[in-house]
C-alpha cells in the first residue's frame, strides 16, 4: 500500500459507468450460446474499426452483428459447411464497397478455409473463395481497382485486380486475393465457393491471365509469402506508409511495401518468441525527419506464460507527401528501429498479489487535426495531427481474486517527444505519474458487469478532449494525457456498457464539488489536488502549502473556481453553509462575502 500511495502522486484515475447493461436481444444470446454449449466453441467479439458503429460476435458457425451503442441486432447469419461438420468463424473485418457495407469473414472448414464477402444490407454471402490452410487474419488493401489515380500507390499487378484482401494462415502463408468486385452477377455462398488461382511470381500479362481465370470461375491470387510453418498472428495494412504489417507467433514482425511487393523489414521484437498480437500506427506532430511510428504488442493472451509488452517502432522515410485525394503518404523507408518498450506485466504499477495472467483487450489510435482553414496551403502540403494518442486496454487476473482488474492506458506521442523520447519508464517512474502515459482503472466497470466477461473496449474518438485551460498560457500539466476526458463502450458477452473517463483536472473539480461543507474537508486536500493538477494560479506553484494559512489556501481555491467557470462549486458551498448547521458556518460565509466583494472592487 505504501508503494501504491508513493507512485500515485497524480492520484488514481478511475472510469465511471454511465449506463446499465444494454443487453443483446434474446435471439442473439440464444444463437451464440447454443454453439458455446454444443460445440464447445469460443465466443469471440470485437468492435469494427470502421465508422458504421458495428460490433461483431461469433461462436462456432454463428455470426451476430450488433449496434455498438445500443446492442441492437443488425444482422445475423449461420454458416453452413460442405459436410456435416459446421464451420467456425475465425476472422472478421469490416469492408465497404460500391456503397455497400459488409464484412470479410474467414471460416475454418474441416479441410482448409473459406473467405466470404458478406453483405450486411441483405444478410447474405455474396462471394466466397476456398483458401488453403487455416485462416488466422484478414486485412482489406483496397475496395476498388483499375488504372486510376486512386490506385497509383499499388504495384502495377495489383492495379488490375478489383478489390484486394490480404489473408494469412497458420503456416505463415500470405496471400493477396482478387475479390472480383467488378463481377457481382453470380450468386455465391460459402458452400459453393470459388477456387483460387495462386501465382507465386508476378507475370507480365496479368490482365489476360485474370480474364482467363475469371472465365473459369476462379479468383486470381498473388502469394506474397510461401508457407513457412510459423503462424501469422496479426495483420494490418498501414495506408499512410503503404505497408502490410504482419506479426508472427514467434515474435517476428515484417513489413511489405505494396508498391514494390517486397519485404522492407523483418526482425524479432525484444520479448522474444511471444506472439505479436496486434499492431497500430501513430504519427507525431510536425516531425521534420519524416518519422512515424508503429506499435507492436506481444502477448501470450490466454496461453501459458504471462507476457504483455508494448513496443514502439520508429520508421524514417525519405519523403512524406499529400496525394490528390488528401491522403498522406510516406515513401522510401530508410530505417526502422525499436525506440520504446513498456512491459505491462513487469511491475510498472503496483498490484495487490501475484498476477496469473495478463492479456490485451484492445488497442486503437486516435488522431485529431487542427483546423487550418484560415490560411492558404500548397497542394502538396501534408498536415500532421496535433493530437495523436494510442489507447491500450488490458485485463489482469490475480491469484486468489475472483474478479479481474482492467486498465486503460493512453500514450500521447507528442508528450513523449516533449519528454525527450525515453526508451522506457525512467527509474522511479510509474504509469500513474508519467508525463506521456495516463492510466485509468476500470474497476467500477468490472464490478458493474461481473460475471460477464469483457471482450473489447472502444474509445469514442469525437469525445476525446482536454476541456478548457484553467489559465492562459495553460500550465504544463494541462498538456499531459492525464487531463484527457473521453467516453468509451465495453463489449461484453451479453451486451454493451458505456463509461466515461475524466482527466485529473476535471476529476479534481468534481472532488471539490462533492466535498463536505466543512473547511477541514476542503483544505488542504482540495488545495493540494489543485496544485498537482495545475489548476492554481502560477503564483502559487512554487509556494509550499504549509507556509499558507487556511484562509490563503481557501482564497486560492475560490479564485480557481472563478477562473475555471466552476461557479457551481462556490454557490454549492454557500448553499450548504446556509442550510446546514455546521461549526464556523457564519465565519465561512463572512469570509466568502468579503472575498467576493474585494473581487468586485478590484475589477
3-class SS letters over 353-422: CCEEEEEEEEEEEEEECCCCCCCCCCCCCCCCCCEEEEEEEEEEEECCCCCCEEEEEEEEHHHHHHCCCC
Average pLDDT rounded to a whole number, residues 560-589: 69
Mean model confidence pLDDT for the chain: 83
**Cβ neighbourhood burial of 441 (10 Å; 0-12, 13-18, 19+):** middle
The residues spanned by each domain of the chain are 508-602
- So what's the pLDDT on residue 471? 63
Distance CA 47, CA 456 (A): 7
Choose the weakest-confidence range: 125-129, 139-143, 238-242, 571-575: 571-575
Integer CA distances (angstroms), 124 to 53, 74, 139, 142, 193, in order? 19, 13, 20, 21, 14
Mean pLDDT to the nearest integer, 88-95? 94
Please choose, from the candidates 482, 458, 483, the residue with its C-alpha nearest in 3D space to the C-alpha of residue 469.
Answer: 483
Which has the closest alpha carbon to 566: 598, 541, 522, 535?
A: 535
The mean per-residue pLDDT over the stretch 511-532 comes to 56
Q: Is the pLDDT of residue 33 over 50?
A: yes
pLDDT tens track for 433-453 = 788 999 999 999 999 988 888
Higher pLDDT, 539 or 484: 484
Mean pLDDT of 291-307: 87
Mean per-residue pLDDT, 401-426: 90
What tens digit of pLDDT does each residue of 267-293 get?
A: 999 888 899 999 999 999 988 899 999
The fraction of the chain above a pLDDT of 70, given in percent, is 79
Span 363-383, average pLDDT: 67
Query: 555 versus 33: which is more confidently predicted?
Result: 33
Instruction: Give yes or no for residue 335 having a pLDDT over 90.
Output: yes
**Cα 192-196-200 angle, rounded to 5 deg:** 170
Per DSSP, the residues of 536-585 read S-GGGTTS-GGGS-HHHHHHHHHHHHHHTT-HHHHHHHHHHHHHS--TTH
What pLDDT band is residue 354 in, cutting at 50, 70 and 90? low
Q: Of all residues in the chain, what percent carry a pLDDT higher than 90? A: 50
Q: Cα-flanking dihedrals φ and ψ of residue 156, to 5°?
A: -50, -35
* Residue 550, pLDDT score: 65
CA angle 128, 130, 135 (to 5 degrees): 100
Model pLDDT, residue 6? 33
Residue 10 confidence (pLDDT): 43
What is the predicted pLDDT for the residue at 379?
42
For residue 8, pLDDT over 60 is answered with no
Q: Which of 38-52, 96-110, 314-328, 555-569 has the lowest mean pLDDT?
A: 555-569
Which of 37-46, 150-159, 240-249, 528-537 has the lowest average pLDDT?
Answer: 528-537
Q: In this predicted model, which residue has the larger pLDDT, 252 or 398?
A: 252
- The predicted model scores a pTM of 0.85
Q: How confident is the model at residue 9 (pLDDT cuts 50, 70, 90)?
A: very low
Sign of CA dihedral 396, 401, 404, 405: negative
Q: DSSP per residue over 299-312, as a string? A: E-TTSSS--EEEEE
pLDDT for 357: 81
Mean pLDDT computed over 21-46: 83
Q: What is residue 51's predicted lDDT score, i.e. its pLDDT?
A: 81
**pLDDT by residue (tens digit) across 119-169?**
999 999 999 999 988 999 999 999 988 777 778 888 999 999 999 999 999
Say if residue 93's pLDDT is above 50: yes
Cis ω before 181 (30° cut-off from 0): no
Q: What is the mean pLDDT of residues 318-322?
A: 91
Q: Are strands 54-59 and 44-47 parallel, antiparallel or unpaired?
A: antiparallel
Higher per-residue confidence, 472 vs 496: 496
- The predicted structure's pLDDT at residue 84: 79
Cα separation of 287 and 414, whole Å? 10
pLDDT winner (highest mean) among 230-244, 302-316, 542-556, 562-576 = 230-244
Instruction: Please say if the pLDDT value at position 266 is more than 60.
Output: yes
Instruction: For Cα atoms 101, 215, 163, give the angle at the middle one, nearest 5 degrees.
Output: 30
Residue 517, SS3 per DSSP = coil
**What does the pLDDT read at residue 1?**
33
Residue 374 predicted with pLDDT over 50: no
Whether residue 397 is predicted with pLDDT greater than 70 in this model: the reply is yes
**Range in 111-125, 488-502, 514-528 with the lowest mean pLDDT:** 514-528
Q: Does the pLDDT of residue 5 top 50, yes or no?
A: no
What is the rounded CA–CA span in Å between residue 74 and residue 255?
36
| 154 HSE (CA, 13 A, CB side) | 23
| Residue 432 cell numbers, joined | 500513474
Grid cell at residue 22: 444494454
Amino acid at each position: 500500500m505504501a508503494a501504491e500511495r508513493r507512485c500515485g502522486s497524480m492520484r488514481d484515475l478511475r472510469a465511471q459507468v454511465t449506463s446499465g447493461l444494454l443487453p443483446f436481444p434474446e435471439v442473439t444470446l440464444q444463437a451464440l450460446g447454443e454453439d458455446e454449449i454444443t460445440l464447445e466453441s469460443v465466443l469471440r467479439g470485437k468492435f469494427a474499426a470502421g465508422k458504421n458503429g458495428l460490433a461483431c460476435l461469433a461462436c462456432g458457425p454463428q455470426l451476430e452483428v450488433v449496434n455498438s451503442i445500443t446492442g441492437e441486432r443488425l444482422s445475423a447469419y449461420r454458416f453452413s459447411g460442405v459436410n456435416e461438420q459446421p464451420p467456425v468463424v475465425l476472422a472478421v473485418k469490416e469492408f465497404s464497397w460500391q456503397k455497400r457495407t459488409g464484412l470479410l469473414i474467414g471460416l475454418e472448414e474441416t479441410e482448409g478455409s473459406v473467405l466470404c464477402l458478406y453483405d450486411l444490407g441483405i444478410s447474405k454471402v455474396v462471394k466466397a473463395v476456398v483458401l488453403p490452410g487455416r485462416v488466422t487474419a484478414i486485412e482489406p488493401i483496397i475496395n476498388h481497382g483499375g488504372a486510376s489515380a486512386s490506385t497509383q500507390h499499388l504495384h502495377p499487378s495489383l492495379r488490375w485486380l478489383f478489390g484486394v484482401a490480404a489473408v494469412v494462415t497458420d503456416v505463415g502463408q500470405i496471400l493477396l486475393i482478387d475479390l472480383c468486385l467488378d463481377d457481382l452477377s453470380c450468386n455465391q455462398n460459402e458452400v459453393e465457393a470459388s477456387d483460387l488461382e495462386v501465382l507465386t511470381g508476378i507475370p507480365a500479362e496479368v490482365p489476360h491471365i485474370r480474364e482467363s481465370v475469371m472465365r473459369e470461375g476462379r479468383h486470381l491470387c498473388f502469394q506474397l509469402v510461401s508457407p513457412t510453418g510459423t503462424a501469422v498472428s496479426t495483420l494490418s495494412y498501414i495506408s499512410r506508409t503503404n505497408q502490410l504489417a504482419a506479426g508472427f507467433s514467434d515474435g517476428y514482425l515484417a513489413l511489405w511495401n505494396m508498391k514494390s511487393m517486397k519485404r522492407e523489414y523483418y526482425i524479432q521484437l525484444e520479448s522474444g518468441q511471444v506472439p505479436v498480437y496486434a499492431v497500430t500506427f501513430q504519427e507525431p506532430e510536425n516531425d521534420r525527419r519524416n518519422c512515424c511510428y508503429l506499435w507492436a504488442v506481444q502477448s501470450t493472451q490466454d496461453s501459458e506464460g504471462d507476457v504483455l509488452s508494448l513496443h514502439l517502432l520508429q520508421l524514417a522515410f525519405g519523403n512524406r507527401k499529400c496525394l490528390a485525394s488528401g491522403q498522406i503518404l510516406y515513401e522510401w523507408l530508410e530505417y526502422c528501429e525499436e525506440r520504446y518498450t513498456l512491459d505491462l506485466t513487469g511491475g510498472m504499477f503496483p498490484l495487490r498479489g501475484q498476477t496469473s495472467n495478463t492479456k490485451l483487450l484492445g488497442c486503437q489510435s486516435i488522431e485529431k487535426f487542427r483546423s487550418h482553414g484560415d490560411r492558404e496551403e500548397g497542394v502538396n502540403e501534408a498536415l500532421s495531427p496535433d493530437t495523436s494518442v494510442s489507447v491500450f486496454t488490458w485485463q489482469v487476473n490475480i491469484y486468489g481474486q475472483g474478479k479481474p482488474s482492467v486498465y486503460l492506458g493512453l500514450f500521447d506521442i507528442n508528450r513523449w517527444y516533449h519528454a525527450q523520447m525515453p526508451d522506457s519508464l525512467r527509474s522511479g517512474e510509474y504509469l500513474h505519474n508519467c508525463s506521456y502515459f495516463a492510466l485509468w482503472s476500470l474497476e467500477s466497470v468490472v464490478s458493474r458487469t461481473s460475471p460477464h466477461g469483457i471482450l473489447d473496449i472502444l474509445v469514442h474518438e469525437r469525445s476525446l478532449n482536454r476541456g478548457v485551460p484553467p489559465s492562459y498560457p495553460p500550465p504544463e500539466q494541462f498538456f499531459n494525457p492525464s487531463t484527457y476526458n473521453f467516453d468509451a463502450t465495453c463489449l461484453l458477452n451479453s451486451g454493451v456498457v458505456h463509461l466515461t473517463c475524466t482527466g485529473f483536472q476535471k476529476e479534481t473539480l468534481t472532488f471539490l464539488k462533492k466535498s463536505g461543507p466543512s473547511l477541514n474537508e476542503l483544505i488542504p486536500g482540495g488545495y493540494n489536488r489543485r496544485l498537482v493538477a495545475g489548476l492554481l494560479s502560477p503564483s502559487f506553484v512554487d509556494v509550499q502549502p504549509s507556509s499558507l494559512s487556511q484562509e490563503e489556501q481557501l482564497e486560492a481555491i475560490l479564485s480557481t473556481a472563478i477562473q475555471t467557470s466552476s461557479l457551481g462549486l462556490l454557490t454549492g458551498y454557500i448553499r450548504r453553509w446556509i442550510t446546514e448547521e455546521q461549526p464556523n458556518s457564519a465565519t465561512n460565509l463572512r469570509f466568502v462575502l468579503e472575498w467576493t466583494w474585494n473581487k468586485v472592487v478590484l475589477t
